[in-house]
């Protein structure tokens, strides 16, 4: 039977899983704004091509005279229009994403602080990262050592090169308006996919960094960060291997996004009730001891602090690290995948790795170089895990 008192850190973990779904929706909403700008740019380019073609159709003498309007002048004009539009589009997309990310950084800090209070049952008066820190999350390096401006710069250059190549090819092959428009739509589809991935990845990065900034600012309460991956067949190898891993707050470690479109998140792990009671809280919380802070808040609400605090403290002690956890525990990806059918395991890992997982006894973190996020090849796994390879009966080529 489930108990009324849910484990503090399990509550935080559960809220992190639910919040990851909200983040996916936020990323989708932000991506829609950028994709709308791209759609408008595509329509504008189609109108430009139609207008220029109509203009030339009214001047057959120029074509007959071989003045080059159909080739050189028309091409140069279109390429110049693409470059102007591409520059304006990049500015608009970057401005849209920056605005969303600034709002997201503020919201993530508020949400994470509220979740800590709710889980502990105490208004901690959580300390906020400075405005400069939150701004730096958007203006600084988002992921893979690059800023948003650098990301958009690369995407913009790829788009321009692709569109120019499509226009040049269309001119050479004598495309009519419909064929040229179709050629450009195909090119823009690639840009749309890349732009959506960029936005979603940036949302994950800023959200993760904002929460980490809050945990580090409140390291008198939060002890560790725990990686939480989505449990489904689309989870990447690196996120499978990292699920459930924990690191002390303030230490250097890998953070979401681990790859483009990463859906993983980090959940805070609080100190034990005993640790919180034995150490001083940071100034600005309303009291230096957690028990004193709880007493004060209970008294303000009309409760008898002494009796009420002992009940709450006993519940918290039983539900925090170092004690038996209350409530349902979320399985790690390793545990979850272990309970799935062999066919599903093979779908996620591949047949050979599935056999190593089932018969070879390898855990999912053995399939990836955690430092780089790169999955090991089968040849590398055979060399690194020769005993497991033999145990899985893969030497003879069997993979099922």
- What average pLDDT score do residues 332-354 get? 89
pLDDT recorded at residue 57: 60
Q: Is 235 part of any domain?
A: no
pLDDT recorded at residue 30: 95
Q: Are both 90 and 203 inside the same structural domain?
A: yes
Q: Are both 347 and 286 inside the same structural domain?
A: no
Both structure tokens of 356: 């190593």
Q: Please report which helix (H) or strand (E) contains residue 246, including its range.
A: strand 246-248
Instruction: Name the H helices within the chain.
Output: 8-57, 60-64, 74-120, 131-139, 148-172, 177-217, 237-242, 273-278, 290-300, 305-319, 333-338, 342-349, 351-358, 378-384, 386-391
pLDDT recorded at residue 5: 30
pLDDT recorded at residue 304: 63
Q: Which of 203, 220, 237 is the last residue of a domain?
A: 220
Number of domains composing the chain? 3
Q: Are both 374 and 296 inside the same structural domain?
A: no
pLDDT recorded at residue 198: 93
Cα 181 to Cα 353: distance, rounded to the nearest angstrom: 45
pLDDT recorded at residue 161: 92
Q: Residue 397 region, left (φ>0) first, then alpha (ψ -120 to 50), else beta?
A: left
| 302 against 308, higher pLDDT | 302
Q: Are both 156 and 297 inside the same structural domain?
A: no
Q: Are both 128 and 17 inside the same structural domain?
A: yes
Residues 6, 8, 10, 11, CA torsion sign: positive
Q: Are both 184 and 124 inside the same structural domain?
A: yes
Cα 293 to Cα 122: distance, rounded to the nearest angstrom: 8
Q: Are both 208 and 353 inside the same structural domain?
A: no
- What average pLDDT score do residues 379-397 get? 87
Q: Is 327 part of any domain?
A: no
Q: Are both 279 and 204 inside the same structural domain?
A: no
pLDDT over 60 (residue 328): no
Alpha carbon distances (Å) from 133 to 94, 105, 117: 20, 10, 22
Which residue has 């001083």 as its token pair?
Answer: 280
pLDDT over 90 (residue 199): yes
Q: Are both 83 and 127 inside the same structural domain?
A: yes
Domain membership of residue 375 as a residue range: 340-391
- What average pLDDT score do residues 195-209 get? 93
Mean pLDDT across the chain = 81
Which residue has 């997201």 as its token pair?
Answer: 104
pLDDT over 60 (residue 290): yes
Q: Is 262 part of any domain?
A: no
Alpha carbon distances (Å) from 25 to 30, 195, 204, 340: 9, 16, 11, 28
| 279 against 112, higher pLDDT | 112
Q: Give the single-character DSSP code of 236.
A: -
Q: Are both 194 and 284 inside the same structural domain?
A: no
Q: Is 267 part of any domain?
A: no
Q: Is 195 part of any domain?
A: yes
pLDDT digits (tens, 9 = 90+) for 97-119: 999 999 999 999 999 998 888 88
pLDDT digits (tens, 9 = 90+) for 150-186: 999 999 999 999 988 888 888 778 777 778 878 888 8
Q: Are both 13 and 131 inside the same structural domain?
A: yes
pLDDT digits (tens, 9 = 90+) for 351-376: 999 999 999 999 998 999 877 778 89
Terminal alpha carbon distance of the chain: 39
The radius of gyration computed from the CA coordinates of the chain, to the nearest angstrom, equals 28
| 53 against 272, higher pLDDT | 272
pLDDT recorded at residue 391: 92
Q: Is 289 part of any domain?
A: yes
Q: Are both 84 and 114 inside the same structural domain?
A: yes
Both structure tokens of 175: 């495309």
Q: Is 253 part of any domain?
A: no
Q: Give the single-character DSSP code of 224.
A: E
Q: Is 249 part of any domain?
A: no
| 248 against 333, higher pLDDT | 248
Lowest mean pLDDT: which of 20-34, 166-180, 379-393?
166-180
Angle at 217 between CA 273 and CA 269, to 5 degrees: 40
Q: Which of 220, 247, 263 is the last residue of a domain?
A: 220
Q: In this structure, are residues 300 and 287 in contact, taking their beta carbons and an 8 Å threshold?
A: no
pLDDT digits (tens, 9 = 90+) for 203-260: 999 999 999 999 999 998 899 999 999 888 888 989 999 999 999 999 999 999 998 8
């Amino acid at each position: 039977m489930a108990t009324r008192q849910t484990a503090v850190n399990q509550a935080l973990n559960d809220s992190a899983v639910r919040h990851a779904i909200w983040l996916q929706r936020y990323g989708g909403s932000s991506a829609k704004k950028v994709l709308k700008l791209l759609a408008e740019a595509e329509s504008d380019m189609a109108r430009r091509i139609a207008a220029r073609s109509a203009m030339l159709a009214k001047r057959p003498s120029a074509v007959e005279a071989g003045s080059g309007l159909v080739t050189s002048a028309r091409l140069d004009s279109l390429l110049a229009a693409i470059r102007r539009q591409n520059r304006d589009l990049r500015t608009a997309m970057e401005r849209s994403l920056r605005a969303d990310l600034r709002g997201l950084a503020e919201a993530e800090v508020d949400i994470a602080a509220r979740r800590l209070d709710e889980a502990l049952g105490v208004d901690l008066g959580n300390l906020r990262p400075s405005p400069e820190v939150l701004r730096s999350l958007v203006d600084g390096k988002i992921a893979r050592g690059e800023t948003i401006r650098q990301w958009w710069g690369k995407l913009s250059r790829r788009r321009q090169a692709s569109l120019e190549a499509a226009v040049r090819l269309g001119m050479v092959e004598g495309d009519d308006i419909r064929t040229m428009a179709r050629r450009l739509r195909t090119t823009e589809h690639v840009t749309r996919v890349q732009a959506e991935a960029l936005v979603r990845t940036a949302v994950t990065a800023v959200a993760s960094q904002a929460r980490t900034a809050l945990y580090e600012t409140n390291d008198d309460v939060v002890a560790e960060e725990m990686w939480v991956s989505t449990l489904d067949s689309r989870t990447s190898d690196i996120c499978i291997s990292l699920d459930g891993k924990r690191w002390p707050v303030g230490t250097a470690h890998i953070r979401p996004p681990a790859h483009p479109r990463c859906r993983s998140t980090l959940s805070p792990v609080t100190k034990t009730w005993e640790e919180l009671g034995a150490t001083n809280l940071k100034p600005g919380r309303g009291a230096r001891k957690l028990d004193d802070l709880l007493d004060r808040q209970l008294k303000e609400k009309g409760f008898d602090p002494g009796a009420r605090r002992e009940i709450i403290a006993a519940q918290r002690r039983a539900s925090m690290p170092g004690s038996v956890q209350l409530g349902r525990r979320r399985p790690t990806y390793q545990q979850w995948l272990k309970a799935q059918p062999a066919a599903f395991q093979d779908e996620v890992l591949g047949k050979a790795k599935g056999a190593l997982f089932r018969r070879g006894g390898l855990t999912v973190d053995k399939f990836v170089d955690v430092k780089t996020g790169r999955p090991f090849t089968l040849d590398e796994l055979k060399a690194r895990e020769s005993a497991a390879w033999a145990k899985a009966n893969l030497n003879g080529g069997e993979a099922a």
